[in-house]
Chain A
Amino acid sequence: MTATLPSRQIPAPVGTGRTRGRLPFVESLTPYAYVAPFFVLFGIFGLLPFLFTFYVALFDWNPIGDQTFIGLDNFTRMLADPRFWNATANTVSIWLLSTIPQLALALLLAHVLNHARLRFALFFRMSMLVPYITSVAATVIVFAQLFDRNYGLLNWLLGFLGVGPFDFVQTTWGSHLLIAVMVAWRWFGYTTLLYLASLQAVPRDVYEAASIDGAGGWKQFVHITIPSLRPVIIFTVVTSTIGGLQVFTEPLLISGGVLTCGPVRQCQTLSLFLYEQGFGQYEFGYGSAIGVALFVMVIVAAIINYLLSSRIRAER
């Protein structure tokens, strides 16, 4: 019975809020103890390294040698380094190649999955999450084999169409495409489910009314599904940008663990370049400068997101 009493009528010292002072002193501290683990962990392993990156970037910092303060030299060196711009171009190229088809496919699949009368819906939803639970390391081994120049299943099939064989690993475009396929494969199902979650909030009446007015599936897709998903589309564009800036394992492993990802760095991404400089060359300062550049790019992407989404909110 007491459980149904409105909180205001509960006499002290049983309330959780206003009667705080009557609880034992230790009890009044417990909330801080409950939230402390996160703040301690984030402080040591998140914020501190984040701030420290900006500091290390100002040094010629060798982990097993000297640390000399050199100001912004790492940054001027980076901006004049063709390897940095090559890595930037590769990163952007792979990001575009993976994001656009991934989001388009996810939109279409979410629209189809949103059918109320769809059979085997659970099977389709679950199979789309299988790539997400498959590790990148395993994915790379399978896809590199499927896309192999001489023995790959894909080139064998392309042979029937009279094209190819393509060398997906050793060429610039080929390697970008292969990495993009692996990234898109891993995430398109997850993105589809995010879109589906958002679509299910659209009242059924909207689709019903469109149906009565004679709008077919395609018209419903263009005029109802896409507009109602705009906020979540922007969210996925941004998360895939941030993820895309950090692509690391795929380019490292398709070339069998070579830090340059090929003889002419044809698929070296920014994260891989950072790793090569930091842990391959032991140039912690220069590597940190690349990390700072990546931070800046992530922040710019986040600001663009903010501007875009506030514009969309204003339109409504």
Chain B
Amino acid sequence: MEPTTSGTAADVVTGASVGAAFTGAPPEPGRHRGRLGRVRWWNYLLLGGAAFLCLFPLYWMFIVASTDSATATQMPPEIVPGGNFFHLAGLVFDTVPFLQSILNSLFVATSIGVGHAVLCALAGFAFAKLRFRGNNTLFLIVVLTMTVPTQLAVIPQYMIVSWLGWVDTLQALVVPGLASAFGIFWMRQHISSTVSDELMQAARIDGASTWQIFWRIAFPIVRPAAFVLGLFGFVSAWNDFLWPFIVLKSPERFTVQIAIKALQNERTIDLGLAMSGSFLATLPLLVLFVLVGRRMVAGILDGAFKG
């Protein structure tokens, strides 16, 4: 059972089973809601302007990344991509160990995404469905931890990581981020509203252990919710800057964000290079977003991230 099931969890997060995971998803929020009345032209103008503001910086990043630094300093500017992309991309890989940094980021972000999906689902399942001494008290503590602003304690965090001998290692990035209070809260909400007690009891009668009930019954039901949670964990881990910046020292351990900064240091003037690096670091997330962006939007509209 073990190998196949852990394979499923990885699929969920890498997006391979997106279609299957969401066949039971509720209808797109908002389709039957919202105010009526005719949509005026200026509404489209406003939304179009906002969409332009959101997309243009990325487009501009690609233009400079596909031409050269001269484009970035030329007036009037170039507005179509050039053919220099692969040359500059090659330079990025030559200047810093970029491939290694992408692999590092993938490892860190995937571990945190999977960790969130599984560990938070486990804890959420226990809080939603299992009765044990201290259940409510412990859950209250989980909620209260959300109010403790721990990110500002970076100096002692560094000291603890250093005592563990984890400075300049990837586990210093992965382990602290594997679960979160918010994730537990979110999974508990989903499990208590979608997994029926009757179903669990039927499984008990059939002799299933608690673990089997979680892994065979509860987790498959909340897999869409766990997937969205894992996605948000993946994105924030991929984009994290401060903590990797503090912990990582050697270039072969860099995550892509730190590699981008290193690119900027190496050749301050070479914007084409810096933009290529930025574009390459954003590309995996853009691809992921095209595949599963709908789910992320639906996750936010679900009210999940209102805190």
Interface residues of A (CB under 8 A from B): 2-5, 7, 10, 13-17, 20, 27-28, 30-32, 34-35, 37-39, 41-42, 44-50, 52-53, 56, 63, 105, 108-109, 112-119, 121-139, 141-143, 145-146, 150-151, 153, 156, 185, 188-190, 193-194, 196-200, 204, 207-208, 211, 217, 220, 232, 235, 239, 242, 246, 248-249, 253, 256-257, 271, 274-275, 278-279, 284, 287-288, 291, 294-295, 298-299, 302
Whether, in the assembled complex, B4 has its beta carbon less than 8 Å from a beta carbon of chain A, the answer is: no
Q: What 4 pairs across the A-B complex have the smallest Cβ distances?
A: A207-B35, A138-B278, A49-B156, A45-B176
B179 touches A41 (CB 8 A): yes
A78 to chain B, nearest CB (A): 14
B132 touches A32 (CB 8 A): yes
B111 to chain A, nearest CB (A): 13
Chain B, Cβ-Cβ closest to A2: B202
Whether, in the assembled complex, B138 has its beta carbon less than 8 Å from a beta carbon of chain A, the answer is: yes
Once bound together, how far apart are the Cα atoms of A130 and B157, in whole Å? 31
A47 touches B282 (CB 8 A): no
Given contact pairs A35-B127, A200-B29, A257-B261, A291 touches B36 in the complex (Cβ within 8 A):
no
Picked from B30, B175, B197, B278, the residue with its CB within 8 Å of the CB of A121 is: B30
Picked from A34, A124, A151, A302, the residue with its CB within 8 Å of the CB of B147 is: A302
Given contact pairs A126-B297, A193-B300, A38 touches B184 in the complex (Cβ within 8 A):
yes
Which range holds the interface residue count of chain B?
35 or more
B58 touches A134 (CB 8 A): yes
Whether, in the assembled complex, B260 has its beta carbon less than 8 Å from a beta carbon of chain A, the answer is: yes
B207 to chain A, nearest CB (A): 9
Given contact pairs A35-B127, A137-B278, A130 touches B54 in the complex (Cβ within 8 A):
yes
Describe A's contact surface by its main secondary structure: helix
One of B8-16, B90-98, B221-229, B288-296 contacting the partner? B288-296
Given contact pairs A197-B301, A295-B149, A153 touches B60 in the complex (Cβ within 8 A):
yes
A114 to chain B, nearest CB (A): 5
Picked from B32, B123, B238, B305, the residue with its CB within 8 Å of the CB of A37 is: B123
Once bound together, how far apart are the Cα atoms of A126 and B46, in whole Å? 15
Whether, in the assembled complex, B18 has its beta carbon less than 8 Å from a beta carbon of chain A, the answer is: no
B153 touches A49 (CB 8 A): yes
Chain B, Cβ-Cβ closest to A42: B145
Whether, in the assembled complex, B99 has its beta carbon less than 8 Å from a beta carbon of chain A, the answer is: no
B306 CB contacts on chain A under 8 angstroms: 194, 197-198, 232, 235
Interface of chain B residues 50 through 80 with chain A (CB within 8 A): 50-51, 53-55, 57-58, 60-61, 64, 72-77
Whether, in the assembled complex, B281 has its beta carbon less than 8 Å from a beta carbon of chain A, the answer is: yes
A53 touches B36 (CB 8 A): no
B32 CB contacts on chain A under 8 angstroms: 116
19 further A-B contacts with Cβ under 8 Å, apart from A27-B209, A35-B184, A298-B152, are A3-B201, A7-B197, A7-B201, A38-B120, A41-B176, A53-B152, A115-B39, A116-B32, A118-B43, A122-B28, A127-B51, A129-B293, A136-B241, A156-B75, A193-B300, A194-B306, A197-B300, A235-B306, A279-B246
A313 to chain B, nearest CB (A): 16
Chain B, Cβ-Cβ closest to A220: B35
Chain A, Cβ-Cβ closest to B118: A37
Per-residue contact bits, chain B 107-133, to A (CB 8 Å; 1 contact, 0 not): 000000000000110110111011110
A51 to chain B, nearest CB (A): 8
Given contact pairs A52-B156, A125-B297, A257-B264, A14 touches B149 in the complex (Cβ within 8 A):
no
Picked from A2, A30, A105, the residue with its CB within 8 Å of the CB of B211 is: A30
Chain A, Cβ-Cβ closest to B153: A49
One of B19-27, B81-89, B267-275 contacting the partner? B267-275
Chain A, Cβ-Cβ closest to B304: A197
Once bound together, how far apart are the Cα atoms of A288 and B158, in whole Å? 12
Picked from A4, A200, A211, A235, the residue with its CB within 8 Å of the CB of B34 is: A200
